[in-house]
Structure 1
Amino acid sequence: MLVWDMVLMTGISRVDAGPITFNSALPVAQGEFIFRGQVVLSRSMNDPSTLDRDRQVLTIPAVLAYGVTRDLAVFGIVPYHEKRLELTTASGRVRRGDSGFGDITFLTRYTLLAIDRLGDTRRFAPFVGLKMPTGDDNQVDSLGRLPQLLQLGSGSWDPIIGTSFTWQTFDWEFDAAVQYQVKTKANNFEFGDQARADASFQYRLWPPTLGSGAPAFFYGVIESNLIYAGKNRVGGTIDPNSGGTTWFLAPGLQYVTRRLILEAIIQLPVLQDLNGTALERDYIVRGGFRVNF
């Protein structure tokens, strides 16, 4: 699971534009909650093997954040998954999959640097977290145990470390983040570690100039996601058909009010340098909302 694909927390006593596919460094106000809901659809049909695989994953993450202090925020992420894989075998076309709640992730973020000027806010905030094995990781169907990629949980405890940066003005916002997740062994299987670098630029499209009051705003969004995954290990043996590098470019839109954001984006792969017959991504579509209270 791509973890910070599920978290975006923002400003003080209001919601601001921000990245859709990863986290910003803007604070969660002390004593306030922010809830985020998304629907994420991922499709992978470009199969270099002879199995003609077609994988679809629908994820509905629920994210709750709380501002403990001005600089410290904590996050909890609970995802619901529907995973499906179709492939051609010697006995014909088969379909496998499962649905239910996946692994829960907890994260802590601390703002180390804050620069606030009129119309100009900059934040630098590292974060640490842990993905815990709360999802079912031993599901079976009529063909036997499901492949690990179709299990709702990994069965492993996976630590996360990273940092985020935000530069926000009245007209635009720039965000960047880097993250590394260590994958540990469970069920005689170990996913490859994952590293990612993300960037986002949001520009206010409407209204073109700011006036009095607190109107709604439309923002155009363009994001970049560079993701590297190491090779998986099965029974201690490296799987040569796993891991690699993927680069997404993602255009999106946001509708922003004082307490609510509606947002949508599509991630399109412009580079996929995967190992062996690893299944390539066709697209990822996201839509959702954020509200603070």
Structure 2
Amino acid sequence: MKKFIFYKITLPLIILAWSEIAIGASTEAQPPNIGNFALPTSQQPGPFLSFGQNIIDKNQIQIYFDPNYQHNTNESFLQIPAAFLYGLTDEASILVTLPVAADYRSGPDHSSGIADISVQGEFAFYENSNSQYTEQMTFVTALTVPTGSFSKNPPTGFGSVSSFLGGTYNHMSVDWLWFTSPGVLWITKHSNIKLGSQYLYQFGVGRNIKSVPNQYIFSALVEIDGTYIEKDKISGKSDPNSGGNLIFLTPSLWYSTKTFYFQLGFSIPIEQEWNGNQSKINYYTNVTAGWTFN
């Protein structure tokens, strides 16, 4: 059976619906343009591995590349996603991600090709700010289509449509930021195989290191990224060698200017409770480079 591959979960999503509703409390008062606020919203530091928090200004565009590498016992996965983010309004965005499985290896087997394309939608249903901090809550939903292959070894996709639903909360002050983001991923049945649902629980804290207003922001972030995975089912029977719980500790560094941002980090598993006989993850590393167009 397919081992669990940690696809970076900025899980590309699609907005189901949103309406013109009141957004939070007063948004007139704003923190000073220093520290984490030294640049516009699209260039301010945010989650590295955790999903969501991709709200940018209306009609803004971000294009970024997100190469990542995961090393398991006797397995490795190199993926190079390209992503397109568009601000539908100041409170809603859509993100399309095209992941390329550049080099997947499991023992003597090797595979590559297009992985599952996904579309993400995010809507900020609550925003609040004052002279000390800003806070935001968002609703995130996603749809992933099976453009990858489940029959390859290792697989480059789920083999069926998957959907995601989650939410985020972000609190940012001049020097600090913190966030939390729970979510769930459902994977539809493929032939007689039903892959287990995945439940995400994520938390992060960041600290501004150095910034110059209207020039750059340099900051650090530490995340706890947890995923609980249900067992797969084959012909209605649970696969004993599937499912479990994984928790990553993920430190990263962020650097951004008015039009460019760069984030580099790595993840170390601090807990791996896999059912049965499954390959363990040794580490996961990732780099993100993106450009913003107004």
Contact 2:64/2:288, CA 8 A, preserved across alignment: yes
Gaps of 5+ in 2: 1-5, 14-36
Contact 1:24/1:165, CA 8 A, preserved across alignment: no
Question: Alpha-carbon deviations, 1:91-122, whole Å to 9, x = none?
Answer: xxxx1121011111112111110002234211
Number of residue-to-residue matches in the alignment: 263
* Structure 1 counterpart of 2:43, one-letter code: V
In the other structure, the counterpart of 1:103 is 116
In the other structure, the counterpart of 1:84 is 105
In the other structure, the counterpart of 1:190 is 194
User: How far, CA to CA, are the matches of 2:40 and 2:88 in structure 1?
Assistant: 13
In the other structure, the counterpart of 1:269 is 269
Contact 2:55/2:122, CA 8 A, preserved across alignment: no
Deviation at 1:7, TM superposition (A): 6.2
In the other structure, the counterpart of 2:205 is 201
Contact 2:52/2:140, CA 8 A, preserved across alignment: no
In the other structure, the counterpart of 1:50 is none
Question: Alpha-carbon deviations, 1:174-232, whole Å to 9, x = none?
Answer: 1211110111111332211000111111111125xxx6x42323211111101101111
Question: Alpha-carbon deviations, 1:19-51, whole Å to 9, x = none?
Answer: 110234362110111122111110111xxxxxx
Is 1:156 the counterpart of 2:177? The answer is no
Judged with a 3 Å threshold, the aligned counterparts in structure 2 of structure 1 residues 68 and 266 are, in CA distance, closer, same or farther, namely: same
In the other structure, the counterpart of 2:228 is 228
User: How far, CA to CA, are the matches of 1:122 and 1:166 in structure 2?
Assistant: 5
Judged with a 3 Å threshold, the aligned counterparts in structure 2 of structure 1 residues 7 and 223 are, in CA distance, closer, same or farther, namely: farther
In the other structure, the counterpart of 2:215 is 215
In the other structure, the counterpart of 1:40 is 68
Is 1:279 the counterpart of 2:284? The answer is no
The alignment yields a C-alpha RMSD, in angstroms, of 2.1
Name the SS of the counterpart of 1:112 in structure 2: strand
Q: Out of 49, 54, 59, which is 1:31 matched to?
A: 59
* Structure 1 counterpart of 2:71, one-letter code: R
User: How far, CA to CA, are the matches of 1:55 and 1:157 in structure 2?
Assistant: 25
Question: Alpha-carbon deviations, 1:226-276, whole Å to 9, x = none?
Answer: 110111122332110111001111111111222211111111011111111
* Structure 2 counterpart of 1:103, one-letter code: D
Q: TM-score, normalised by structure 2?
A: 0.83
Deviation at 1:3, TM superposition (A): 5.5
In the other structure, the counterpart of 1:172 is 176
In the other structure, the counterpart of 1:134 is 147
Q: Out of 2, 13, 21, which is 2:7 matched to?
A: 2
Contact 2:254/2:264, CA 8 A, preserved across alignment: yes
User: How far, CA to CA, are the matches of 1:248 and 1:103 in structure 2?
Assistant: 23
Judged with a 3 Å threshold, the aligned counterparts in structure 2 of structure 1 residues 127 and 237 are, in CA distance, closer, same or farther, namely: same
Contact 1:7/1:36, CA 8 A, preserved across alignment: no
User: How far, CA to CA, are the matches of 1:183 and 1:251 in structure 2?
Assistant: 29
